[in-house]
Structure 1
């Protein structure tokens, strides 16, 4: 016979999958009966005491939650007839939410309030269940902005033909990132699949020329390149150093035929788009000694399809500079241990350091920012890599 914990998990799964359709009257998720599992005839004959104990547990559980059990009569030890529970009956979505707990009761109440608003202001919506699920994660402010933006487009549908950027949409309180993150909701409420918003600009990289002869000649030191645009650097680099910190990249020491590139976060698709960068004879990545740093390094190797060298991200460097570390991320939030992500492109020493930093039993700092390491050390490390 299943345990109450197992049944609660099944109720949660059904609630998660169908709650939106249920409250929108599209498809009822409840009432629903969940099977408890059927003891075998041999168990009833040999050990009815255990079955009886399980029955009592279920009776107490059902009574405390106001739900009903379904029984069947079974033959037990000595040929006696006993009532054995077979199903637990959950009569409504609200009952299921109360049993599962967590945020579910408040979540359903909030969604029903929003459902009333959507029915009143957008009566033509066909699949209200799908829409209410779409806006489920919206904060109160975001939902209010959604109604405002959808109303603005519906007031004059030709506004979808303005050809403006998300930042240029003239609605108070609406900024580009909000519209980009909530555009699916606007489309759902308006039925306008193309809002006429101009695409974001192509990604670009920023980099610094490190070659001392080039810098002495009066050529530009800092440059940028846009993906898809025709561009040739001032010289084809023999060595490229990708540095996740902007200041570190800008102030990297002079390096013959070198270029330092400012990192772009996780994944290296943008810098990998440039042949002159991707094909540099020596390609080095330098990031923070923390979880993100190693995951970014792994992503660069995947996107470049190349075993990029790393510098100053090994256990020896960690040991030397751990005293300058921190346990806060770049947003000032505590760094916590966690499960590893797929990082199959890390080398052995990198993987060792990565696993140490995410180990809940790790005693040292979980992050050493690359700025804490002198640039002279980085230059020496690059020279060793260059051979």
Structure 2
């Protein structure tokens, strides 16, 4: 039987996973949390020290929290029948927030007001829960600026200027770049219409040992729509999420290492010499974001095969993992996205690192796996 402290942790997890969807119209509360059941032999063996005190604890706890319902069932203990707690229903999301404590009540109140504003300003908003989550930690100034900019793009044709030329006070190119997805969601557009500040490009490193021994350049770049051919048609392309990993990848005959740098595959897909390479690999972090990026590369038209993103690699290097993201924020469980371009093995690890019941690390940084291991994985794929 769970303690109140353990159930409070369950409440906080469910609240974190469902609050935005619930407010946006996908009810997740009330919700009943199971308290667990134990066999008759266990109940009798630990009745005096554990179960009888815990039963009283639960009864007292439920009386102090009127927005909860404690469910009991009769259980046979020795020669008597005892009503034991088996479940707890939290009746409303507001009750869940009060129990979760911290700033949850304030967050829900703020989100409710913002949802009303969003629906008034953008009645055709398709995914309000996505926007609610995105603006959860915004200040009122930042939230107001987002709405102002979305209104401007809704009323104006932005075809022609660059992000730096948008005539809105308080807005700059980096702000537009970091808020682009939200603005597209609010305006219902596929693009903002702005010109890029510079043409998209890729950076890569030549890995062929003969080319480098002959004095050929090591590092190069290619710009979309610019006439360009690499020093040699690559036979092997390794796209690496981490810049340093790409730059320092070991020599491979006919090889090129591309800096993925966290972006999607649309830029790389513009280079036929890259996408038509006989051996095309992607190597990224083992975390939810890494698999979402991998899926994006394939969806964008870059038919990569992943290396070192499989269950065996996760098991081997999990002890060297972390539970914080690149910004040192804690990684939390979540709901897996569809990601139709993942293989079954990739999907298995993706779901595992998002599972609320998972006790291992939720992220293995690419750099924790030696380059020699990655080099061997590429060579093994070619044999």
What TM bracket, shorter-length normalisation?
0.5 to 0.7
* Residue number among 262, 268, 273 corresponding to 2:270 in the alignment: 273
Q: Are the aligned partners of 1:245 and 1:287 in contact in 2 as well (CA < 8 Å)?
A: yes
Match 1:102 to one of 105, 109, 114: 109
User: Which residue number corresponds to residue 319 of structure 1?
Assistant: 315
Post-superposition offset of 1:310: 1.3
In structure 2, distance between residues paired with 1:170 and 1:10: 37
Correspondence for 2:342: 346
SS of structure 1 residue aligned to 2:109? coil
Q: Tell me how far apart the structure 1 counterparts of residues 258 and 320 of structure 2 sit (CA, whole Å).
A: 25
1:285 matched to 2:292? The reply is no
**Correspondence list, 1:1-387, <5 A:** 102-103=109-110, 107=114, 130=121, 139-142=139-142, 165-167=162-164, 174-178=171-175, 181=179, 199-265=196-262, 267-304=264-301, 306=303, 308-387=304-383
Instruction: Please tell me whether Structure 1 or Structure 2 has the larger radius of gyration of its CA atoms.
Output: 1
Instruction: Tell me by how many angstroms 1:236 deviates.
Output: 0.5
User: Using a 3 Å threshold, how does the CA distance of structure 1 residues 105 and 143 change in structure 2: closer, same or farther?
Assistant: closer
In the TM superposition, what is the alpha-carbon distance from 1:339 to its structure 2 partner? 1.4
Please give the alpha-carbon distance, in whole angstroms, between the structure 2 residues aligned to 1:285 and 1:220: 23
- Partner of 1:339, secondary structure, is coil
Q: Which runs of no fewer than 5 residues in structure 2 stay unpaired? A: 1-20, 26-107, 126-131, 150-156, 184-191
CA contact (8 A) 1:210 1:256 kept: yes
| Structure 2 CA distance for partners of 1:142 and 1:261, relative to 1, 3 Å | same
Q: Structure 1 CA distance, aligned partners of 2:351 and 2:111?
A: 36
TM-score, length-normalised on structure 2? 0.57
How many equivalent residue pairs? 266
Distance 2:228 2:22 in 1: 57
1:187-233 superposed Cα distances (whole Å, 9 cap, x missing partner) = xxxxxxxx997543221111100011111122211111111211101
Find the aligned partners of 2:279 and 2:23 in 1 and give their Cα distance.
56
When residues 164 and 320 of structure 1 are mapped into structure 2, their CA distance, relative to the original with a 3 A threshold, is: same
Give the Cα–Cα distance (whole angstroms) in 1 for the partners of residues 113 and 346 of structure 2: 45
Residue by residue over 1:160-196, the C-alpha shift from the partner in whole angstroms, topping out at 9 and shown as x without a partner, is 99x87443679985422335649x99xxxxxxxxx99
- 8 Å CA contact 1:266–1:295 kept in 2: the answer is no
Kindly tell me: are residues 289 and 107 of structure 1, through their superposed partners in 2, closer, same or farther at Cα, counting changes over 3 Å?
Answer: closer
CA 1:365 to 1:171, structure 2 compared with 1: closer, same or farther past 3 Å?
same
- The CA deviation string for residues 263-294 of structure 1, in whole angstroms up to 9 with x for no partner, is 14353121111100000000011011111112
Q: How far apart, CA to CA, are the structure 1 residues paired with 2:294 and 2:269? A: 13
Q: Aligned-pair RMSD on alpha carbons? A: 4.5
2:324 and 2:24 mapped to 1: Cα distance? 34
Instruction: Report the secondary structure of 1:207's partner residue.
Output: strand
The alignment partner of 1:102 has SS state of helix
Deviation at 1:105, TM superposition (A): 7.3
Using a 3 Å threshold, how does the CA distance of structure 1 residues 142 and 289 change in structure 2: closer, same or farther? closer
